[in-house]
Structure 1
Amino acid sequence: MEKKQEISGQNLVNIIVEILDSKKATHIEIIDLQNKGYLSQFVVIATSMAGKHGLSLLNYLKDDLKPKGVRFYAIDEDNEDWIIVDFGEIIVHIFTENHRNKYNLEEFLEKTFSKNGFNG
C-alpha cells in the first residue's frame, strides 16, 4: 500500500491556488499570517463567477486534494456566496464578487494584524 506524502504549508497553498486558477476563480490572493497570532498560517481568498461556480470550485478542491491525503477540517458551504474551507494551517474563502466587496476580508485582516507587522 502506497503511503501518501503529506502536503502542507506553502506547498499546499500553491496547489490550492493552481486548482482555483485553473477552474476560473479570479482575484486570488494569498495572505501570509505566519507568526501573526491568527488561527491559520495562510488565508487564500478567491472570487467565483456565481454561487454555483463557488460550489464547483469547492468540489474541484475536494476531488484533487482528498486523494492526496489532504485533510479538510471543516467546510462551510451553507451560503454559496461565501464558502469557507478549513485545512488547519490554511483557510480558503471563496466569495462571489458582491460578497467579497461587501465583507472586504482583506482589509479586515490588514487592519487587525497591521500592528503585528502584516504585509499582505
Structure 2
Amino acid sequence: MKKRPVGTEVLLDSVARGIYNKQGKNVLRIDMRKLENSIADFFVICHGTSVTQVNSICDSVDAAVRKEAGEKALNVEGLGNCFWVLMDYGDVIVHIFLEEYRNFYTLESLWADALIEIMEEKVSK
C-alpha cells in the first residue's frame, strides 16, 4: 500500500511542536509561495541558546515529524557543529540556529517581502 503524502499544515504543526518541546526561541514561519523562484513553500526559523539545545531541537523536530506526519528529512546539514542546522522536508525547510549565528545572518531579513508570521506554541501530543 502506498503512503499518502502529508499536508503542509500538518508538517508545519509537527515542526513547531518539535521546536517548542525543547524551548526553541523566536519561531518564525516564512511563507515563500508567492515569491518567484523560491526553493520551498515555507521556511521555519528558530534558535537555541546553546549547541546542546540546538541539537536537542533537531532531534525533537525529527521525532515529531516522523510520529505525526510520517515523514523524514530529505537532508540535514550542520549537525557537526550545531551553529546552523538545516532540515529539508521538501516544501518546508527548517533552520535551527545558535542564537549568535541567527543574529549574524538575519536570514529572515533576506525574505522581507514574504509573509512572516510568529508560529504559535504547539503542545506535545
With the shorter chain as reference, the TM-score category is 0.7 to 0.9
Distance across 2 between alignment mates of 1:23 and 1:92: 15
Distance across 2 between alignment mates of 1:65 and 1:5: 15
Structure-2 residue corresponding to 1:54: 54
Structure-2 residue corresponding to 1:72: 73
Asked if the contact 1:82–1:96 (Cα under 8 Å) also holds between the matched residues in 2, the reply is: yes
Distance across 2 between alignment mates of 1:14 and 1:24: 15
Asked if the contact 1:5–1:69 (Cα under 8 Å) also holds between the matched residues in 2, the reply is: no
Q: Give CA deviations for 1:46-76 in whole Å, capped at 9, x if unaligned.
A: 1112111111111112222224421311001
- Runs (4 or more) in structure 1 with deviation over 3 Å come to 3-6
Identity of aligned residues (%): 24
Structure-1 residue corresponding to 2:5: 6
Distance across 1 between alignment mates of 2:81 and 2:6: 28
Unaligned runs of 5+ in 2: 117-125
Structure-2 residue corresponding to 1:16: 15
Deviation at 1:85, TM superposition (A): 0.2
Unaligned runs of 5+ in 1: none
In the alignment of these two chains, the number of paired residues is 113
Distance across 1 between alignment mates of 2:107 and 2:31: 14
Distance across 2 between alignment mates of 1:83 and 1:26: 15
Residues 1-120 of structure 1: matches in 2 within 5 Å?
6-36=5-35, 37-67=37-67, 68-76=69-77, 77-110=79-112, 114=113, 118-120=114-116
Deviation at 1:11, TM superposition (A): 2.0
Q: TM-score, normalised by structure 1?
A: 0.83
Deviation at 1:95, TM superposition (A): 0.6
Deviation at 1:106, TM superposition (A): 0.4
Asked if the contact 2:29–2:43 (Cα under 8 Å) also holds between the matched residues in 1, the reply is: yes
Deviation at 1:4, TM superposition (A): 5.6
Distance across 2 between alignment mates of 1:46 and 1:61: 12
Distance change (3 Å), C-alpha of 1:66 and 1:119: closer
Structure with more helix by fraction: 1
Q: TM-score, normalised by structure 2?
A: 0.80
